[in-house]
Structure 1
Amino acid sequence: MIAEYASVVAAMAVLVSTITGSLATLPTSTNAALTAVTSGAKAQNVPVAGARAAYKRAPYSKPILKYLYAAGWIGGKKSPLSCLFARVQPDETEREAVREIRRNAKLVRQLRRARVSLTAAADTLVKGIASACS
């Protein structure tokens, strides 16, 4: 269990750094979000069509939340163990996501600017991760 948890922690850190690493800002429009989802899927070698479909079926109205959901889906497809852990232990995975988001001041500022709480962002990421293994 400890090795599995360490794997999830590492995957979450990679996911959070991926979200902010290639972008100057989180996307706030649908076009920008779909472009970011496409490039993220290509960078992680997961199906672009699946990532775009995850964005479109995300149960949110804000493009930034739809993007975070799709980014979670990409992370879940890349790491099946993270996907499984997000389904079995969603609360712990969400707590870890909040910790990782807090470590990235740039991401925290962008979320605040978009009026998205850290908890909402983490919850959205975890739901996206879990959706990748269904």
Structure 2
Amino acid sequence: MAKKINEKHEWLQINEEGLTIFKDILSSLIAFHEMLHGKIQSSEENWIFKLRVVESDSPVIAIKRFGDYEYLVFAKIKDKYNSWIHIDGIQMERLELERTGVLNHDVFNILNMTDIYTKHCDPYAGEIPEDV
């Protein structure tokens, strides 16, 4: 697939291949959260929704970039939706290593949100609720 770069910082929808990567990233974040805080409780609505995104066969995920490695994520499953900010720590590390001249490091082999944004997205034609 050709590399796509969105210079306008508009909403993009993650395609099917990107969803697989996104779910892997989200699963890792959920596991890290549970390692620090224990099993997700029913009162943690945002984390419950993220679990449902990972488990869903057909979530709609749109992302909007607003910095070098900051993304607003809009996730929708049927008529339910949630949003959150994703800080791409892998991209942060890549940029720092590039600044110091280190270009041969394992971090460059880890798929991240920026990879999804540049290679696995299409323009989002759906609506974004005003409260996102």
TM-score range, shorter chain: under 0.3
Q: Specify which structure has the higher proportion of helix.
A: 1
TM-score (normalised: structure 1): 0.26
User: Quick one: higher RCO (CA 8 Å, sep 6+), 1 or 2?
Assistant: 2
TM-score (normalised: structure 2): 0.26
